[in-house]
Amino acid sequence: MTGADRLRELVAELLAAHDPATTPRLEFLRARFDAGLAWVHFPAGLGGLDAPRSLQAVVDAELAAAGAPDNDPRRIGIGLGMAAPTILRFGSEENKRRFLRPLWTGEEVWCQLFSEPGAGSDLAALGTRAVRDGDDWVVTGQKVWTSSAHTARWAILVARTDPDVPKHQGMTYFVCDMTAPGVEVRPLRQITGEAEFNEVFLTEVCIPDAHRLGEVGEGWKVAQTTLMNERVAIGGSAVPREGGMVGVVASAWRDRPELRTPELHDRLLRLWVEAESVRLAGVRLRQQLAAGQPGPEGSAMKLAFAELSQKLAGLEVEFLGEDGLRYDDWTMRRPEIVDFTGREAGYRYLRAKGNSIEGGTSEILRNIIAERVLGLPAEPRVDKDVAWKDLPR
């Protein structure tokens, strides 16, 4: 029996024991996790079966055909794409068993406390302090641009634990309870009118040392796992041919023949070809992921995704003319999910501006690609060996 056949057999057993038509959604998702069919490449007992990552598609297809509920991955994307692989690699066995199951089922939403007002692109310059107090750490500082902080139960957090060493060496990585005393979440209203992002203030927040991921002072190393997975999650997700933004723009083109011009036609064709190239590069990236950990290639995918989204959004607004400028919903909303394809062209145009910032700015990603993929000389870094406390701010 092949690996795929064995997985189909396990799916059949799950469906026989938990009929999706009659089993409550959360009960079914918990049963799926316990059967090892959540992430088949994860270890047994942690939602997986130690199977090849490529076989996850077999499980997903069988369950979708049976009408089984999914875990609403768009709502819990930070947990699935960033927190889970980091916890799996650096968390204690206790942490893995405590956090991974409710993370995957969506019972607990996660957010990411990385960027700060003075440390966005240069994450290693962060100043949020964590001071050891027996078996706990006391954390004080401010984080910003935090998606889902207003709905999150837990956060992945990087803080400064040693200001006397160079900035990359003095950070430590934690899991932070977003309901703990001292955590304050404030909305940040964006150009779209929504408050999808937040600023988070941490005032003497107590975090047990048991919630530390990785060794003290190795926060930068742990954060790299998160960031590489984040860029894959943003730019490397599977989409069908003519899916996503290019499908929306192509549909508008087909529906409004009276607005077509030769110049816009040429631009749309070029962007369609670019979108197909990005899609196929994503297929190759996921094949590489099936064989190991994500590398800097994810940065290239995220960069390509951001630039393509912005160009497509701009073309759509230009094509639609007055209709493209209309934006009906300007209310102060606190969305859990960013919906690109289900909104007006004006919303897509405004929201796409953030694609080149979130998940690593395009400028930083170009540096990563230049140095780690192309092997070009690194940019001069005069602060590399200077203690963080001595850096100008």
Q: How far is CA 28 from the centre of its chain?
A: 25
Please give the Cα distance from 275 to 114 (Å, whole number): 30
The amino acid at residue 68 is A
User: What is the C-alpha to C-alpha distance for residues 91 and 87, in angstroms, rounded to an integer?
Assistant: 5
Give yes or no for a contact between 305 and 279, defined as CB atoms under 8 angstroms apart: no
Question: What type of residue is 185?
Answer: V
* HSE-CB of 222 using CA atoms within 13 angstroms: 28
Q: Measured in Å, how far apart are the chain's first and last C-alpha atoms?
A: 62
Region of 194 please: left (phi>0), alpha (psi -120 to 50) or beta.
Answer: beta
Which of 108, 194, 230, 297 is catalytic? The answer is 230
- Euclidean distance between CA atoms 242 and 248, whole angstroms: 9
The Cβ-side half-sphere exposure at 46, using a 13 Å CA radius, reads 20
Buried-state track 124-136, b at ≥16 Cβ within 10 A, e below 16? bbbbbbbeeeeeb
**Active site (annotated) includes residue 230:** yes
Q: Residue 187 pairs with which residues in a beta bridge?
A: 198
- Using DSSP's 3-state secondary structure scheme, residue 380 falls into coil
Catalytic residues: 230
